[in-house]
Structure 1
Amino acid sequence: MLNKMLSHLRRFARDEDGNVTVETILWVPLVITILAATFSLHDAFRYKSLNVKAAYTISDAISRETDPIDNAYLDGMVDLMAYLTRSAGPYSLRVTLVRYKQADGGYNVEWSKTRGGFSAMTGSDLANLTDNLPNMLDNERIIVVETQTDYQPPFEVPGLNSAGLFYNFGFTRPRFAPKITWSDA
Structure 2
Amino acid sequence: MLPTSNYSKGLVTRFIRRFRRREDGIISVEAMLILPLLFWSMFASYTYYDAYRQSARNIKGAYAVADVISREDGDVNAAYVNTMYDLLQAMVETRAPVTMRMTYLTFDGENDIHNVLWSCVRGTALPKWSNADIDEIKPSLPAMPDNGSMIVVETRNTYRPPFFIAFEFSEFEMNNLVFTHPRVFDNIANSDPSCIVA
Q: What TM-score results when the alignment is normalised by the length of structure 1?
A: 0.89
Whether the 8 Å CA contact 2:102–2:154 is kept in 1: the answer is yes
Paired residue for 2:33?
26
Of the structure 1 ranges 67-76 and 51-60, higher mean CA displacement relative to structure 2 is found in 67-76
Partners of 2:144 and 2:26 in 1: CA distance: 69
| Contact 1:96–1:112, Cα closer than 8 Å, also in 2 | yes
Deviations 1:111-130 (A, max 9, x none): 21101121101345422211
The answer to whether the 8 Å contact 1:82/1:89 transfers is no
Please tell me whether residue 69 in structure 1 is matched to residue 79 in structure 2.
no
Q: Specify the alignment match of 2:137 in structure 1.
A: 129
**What SS class does the counterpart of residue 117 from structure 2 fall into?**
strand
For 2:186 and 2:134, the matched residues in 1 are separated by 21
In the TM superposition, 1:30-49 aligns within 5 A as: 30-49=37-56
- Is 2:126 the partner of 1:115? no
The 2-side partners of 1:161 and 1:145 are apart by 26
Work out the CA distance in 2 between the residues paired with 1:163 and 1:124: 28
Q: Distance in 1 between matches of 2:17 and 2:107?
A: 83
Instruction: Indicate which of 179, 183, 188 corresponds to 1:180.
Output: 188
Matched, 1:163 2:172: yes
| Structure 2 CA distance for partners of 1:125 and 1:34, relative to 1, 3 Å | farther
Percent identity reads 34
1:143 partner SS: strand
Larger radius of gyration: 2
Question: Contact 2:99/2:156 (CA < 8 Å) preserved in 1?
Answer: yes
The answer for the alignment partner of 1:144 in structure 2 is: 152
Superposition deviation, residue 85 in structure 1: 1.9
TM-score where L is the length of structure 2: 0.83
Q: Which runs of 5+ in 2 are unaligned?
A: 1-7, 194-198
Helix, strand or coil at the partner of 2:110: helix
Instruction: State the secondary structure of the residue aligned to 1:137.
Output: coil
C-alpha root-mean-square deviation of aligned residues, in Å? 2.0
| 82 and 4 in structure 1: CA distance in 2 versus 1, 3 angstrom threshold | same
Instruction: Describe the SS at the equivalent of 2:172.
Output: coil
Query: Which digits, 9 at most, give the CA deviation of each residue in 1:50-107, with x for residues without a partner?
Result: 1111100000111111112121111111110121122344110001112110233222
Decide whether aligned partners of structure 1 residues 162 and 87 sit closer, same or farther in structure 2, where only a CA change above 3 A counts: closer
* SS of equivalent residue, structure 2 residue 104: strand
Q: Give the residue type in structure 2 aligned to 1:104.
A: N
1:13-64 per-position Cα deviation (integer Å, ceiling 9, x unaligned):
2121211011000111111111111111112211211111110000011111
Is the CA contact (8 Å cut-off) linking 2:66 and 2:178 kept in structure 1?
yes
Does residue 100 of structure 2 align to residue 93 of structure 1?
yes
Distance (Å, rounded) in 2 between the aligned partners of 1:120 and 1:98: 13
